[in-house]
Structure 1
Amino acid sequence: MQYETLTVDIVGHVATVTLNRPDVRNAFNETMIADVTAAFTALGAHENVRAIVLAGNGKAFCAGADLNWMRKMAGYSDEENRADAMRLAQMLSAVYRCPKPVVARVHGDAYAGGMGLVCAADIVVAVETAHFCLSEARLGLMPATIAPYVIRALGEQASRRYFVTAEAFDCATAQRLGLVSEAVNAQALDATVQRIAETLCTNSPNAVRECKQLVQDVAGQTIDTALIEDTAVRIARIRASEEGRDGVSSFLEKRTPRWRDQ
């Protein structure tokens, strides 16, 4: 997998996607948007990949939109602006909807659209010195395409504040709000990410995929008859799956499940 604005490395069952525009703090333009979308689409379909780490090169994780790209957008027609915004929305969806679990390795600041990428991940490991900011209102804009992911990650009340104030907040606040799963010092970042990725890879690939989808489908839903029936159908289906049967059998027989040998 060769991309202009990022690198992709696969070691064992773990793929690492690294944003690679350090000279502009990994700010994204149309090329990076296309690259991230293509990479996560390809890795989501990659049979050998069981977990994806999203990282950044340089001082920042991602500073949001590239200023030169934003200047170009100012001259777009309404139709061109909508098409451009849709490509950004599709990039975020590619990360969020990726069937493989995504671990964001946040080694530096994440601003604006960069926060969208963080919020689209399933697990976020960040250094204690990282800062986060929804800075769009400072520029007369709004965090529209990233809003579905940010509101899910921060919650409605915190989103109300940080959308309108455009304040930066630290890693401790991000962890308190539930955005950051683990806050660590820089020396422990890689080991923590590796530990989580390895844990993901020991579990049933099918179960991990179904669990991720389960959360997305059930979160925020009313607990009614339809939802109860849906969850019963899901557990019945996975019990009868090949990995479901093997997982239960291996536990009872005190042996390693077959997917760990693959």
Structure 2
Amino acid sequence: MELTAPNGTLLLRSEAAVLTVTLARPREQNSITPALMADLHDALDRAEADPACRVVVLRAQGPAFCSGMDLHAAAGSTDDLAAHGGERFLGLLKRLTTVERVVVSCVDGRASGGGVGVVAASDFAYATPASQFGLPEALWGLLPCCVLPFLIRRVGFQRAYTMTLSTLPIDAAEAARRGLVDEVAEDPGPALRRLLVRATKLDPTTIGDLKRYFRRMWIVSDEMEAEALREFGRLMTSPVARERITAFATGQRMPWER
């Protein structure tokens, strides 16, 4: 049975031990909004409330898996985003790494900015050869502050650093070499089915214990999260970011166009 999430940004399908969550804003390139984040939390609530569920699979409609922050929405609310947007998004990524279910991202298309964060925070990630991954935030006068703690955990410091500094997208094969995705295939179905053979046999409390233990073993601390939010808030209210986001929202002018 397929359901629509409360805010209409997702489609949900529950089947046996798997909840499939499909981002359903293809015209907006599945960009991240407060409504989308609320719907994703609701989906995770559903997964945790279902004792049979073991795996949450994230997919997307259209050519973009997730394009990150909705810049049109951001143009009119940079102060609100600076105050609360980073906290909401960081909270979502943190929940993906702590929810007592196995989270799998199946990427078929472009993942940018916050979309890379969703992939990095997932337990497993599969991608098709058509997929691309990029962090363009520096072009807008921003940094992927909330993404980086999870990306560094996934691919290492230097690879996260150069991906941020270059702003250049990488293809699926390179993402696999860097460890951002676990497997590249035209059809992620076989890889997902192999995973389900074991994942469906895990007790949810064991999954939660494992995630919490590994979190304590890594550098993503309360202090790091606080620093990420402080820097995100500072950059969102900076003149450079305000001007470039507004220019895009009002005239579709990219940050490198003068």
Superposed pair shares fold, TM > 0.5: yes
Deviation at 1:220, TM superposition (A): 5.8
Match of 1:211 in 2: 210
Deviation at 1:23, TM superposition (A): 0.8
TM-score, normalisation: structure 1: 0.76
- Mapped to 2, the partners of 1:220 and 1:82 lie a distance apart of 24
Match of 1:63 in 2: 67
* Equivalent runs, 1:5-20 vs 2, <5 Å: 5-20=9-24
Matched, 1:38 2:42: yes
1:30–1:69: 8 Å Cα contact kept in structure 2?
no
- Tell me which amino acid in the other structure corresponds to 2:159: A
1:41–1:94: 8 Å Cα contact kept in structure 2?
no
Report the count of equivalent residues.
216
- Tell me which amino acid in the other structure corresponds to 2:172: C
- Mapped to 2, the partners of 1:85 and 1:214 lie a distance apart of 25
- Mapped to 1, the partners of 2:204 and 2:92 lie a distance apart of 23
2:54–2:202: 8 Å Cα contact kept in structure 1?
no
Match of 2:171 in 1: 170
What RMSD over aligned residues (CA atoms) do the two structures have, in Å? Answer: 1.9
Question: For structure 2, which runs of at least 5 residues remain unmatched after alignment?
Answer: 221-258
2:10–2:22: 8 Å Cα contact kept in structure 1?
yes
Match of 1:244 in 2: none
- Mapped to 1, the partners of 2:73 and 2:147 lie a distance apart of 17
- Mapped to 2, the partners of 1:122 and 1:25 lie a distance apart of 23
Match of 1:225 in 2: none
Change (3 A) 1:131 1:204: same
Match of 1:25 in 2: 29
Matched, 1:138 2:177: no
TM-score, normalisation: structure 2: 0.77
> What percent identity do the matched residue pairs reach?
28
Match of 1:189 in 2: 188
SS in 2 for 1:47: coil
Q: Which has the higher contact order (CA 8 A, sep 6+)?
A: 2
Change (3 A) 1:194 1:218: same
Deviation at 1:99, TM superposition (A): 1.3
Change (3 A) 1:175 1:204: same
Q: Which moved more, 1:48-57 or 1:199-208?
A: 199-208
* Equivalent runs, 1:99-178 vs 2, <5 Å: 99-178=100-179
- Mapped to 2, the partners of 1:37 and 1:149 lie a distance apart of 18
Q: Deviations over 1:128-168 (max 9, x none)?
A: 22110011001111101111111111210111111111110
